[in-house]
Amino acid sequence: MLRALLADPFLIEAAAAAQPSQQLLQLKYAALKNLGAAREAAQDAAAAPDALSAYCAAAALDGGDVVLWRAPSRPFVTPNRSHALRRRRLATVAVELRRLPLARLALEAGLGLNAQHPALLSELAEVCLALGDSGGAEAAAREMLLLAPAHPRSLQLRRAHIT
């Protein structure tokens, strides 16, 4: 149903107009975001690229939704996919597809919206480490420790003496 809505000629033409209606753009954004969530919920390896594509298209329409950039209330890298929360977002899907540069961009975009988000900082530190950017990881970890010293990941970093 969401794909049919997104493929509707009226919505396509209206969204491509020189002055598109805000309501139609919001409809398209919501459809793309929900399509991404639906494809994620399928928990099918073939669905993950579709979810990522839908989330990227939604972000291109409106990048102001912090929730779109990361998964709420979930460890960023889960060793067991069965523990993954169904409401993952762009950065999480990008990590699962091993598109780490895209995950980093998503997390940095989320931090652009809320620079004091400890979970985004924690996840950015992990992605930077995976990319081999120890300086970026250390900067994100230090910022997270300053902003939220009691955050569970901050405590882990402190115990591990990473920063």
User: pLDDT of 2-55, one tens digit each?
Assistant: 888 888 888 778 777 778 888 888 888 889 888 888 887 777 777 888 888 888
pLDDT at 88 over 90: no
Calpha distance 59→88 (Å, rounded): 14
User: 73-82: long-range contacts at Cβ-Cβ below 8 A with a sequence spacing of 24 or more?
Assistant: 76/122, 76/123, 76/126, 76/127, 77/126, 81/43
CB-facing half-sphere around the CA of 31: CA atoms within 13 A: 17
**In this structure, what are the phi and psi dihedrals at residue 74, rounded to the nearest 5 degrees?**
-150, 140
pLDDT for the residue numbered 83 = 26
Calpha distance 92→98 (Å, rounded): 10
pLDDT for the residue numbered 72 = 46
Output the CA angle 24-25-27, nearest 5 degrees.
60
Extract the tokens encoding 83.
């523990």
Instruction: Please name each of the domains of the chain with its CATH number.
Output: 1-62 (no CATH), 66-163 (1.25.40.10)
pLDDT at 79 over 60: no
pLDDT for the residue numbered 142 = 86
pLDDT for the residue numbered 158 = 62
How far CA 33 is from CA of 73, 84, 122, 133, in Å, comes to 18, 18, 24, 30
User: pLDDT of 113-161, one tens digit each?
Assistant: 888 888 888 889 889 989 999 889 888 888 888 888 887 776 776 666 5
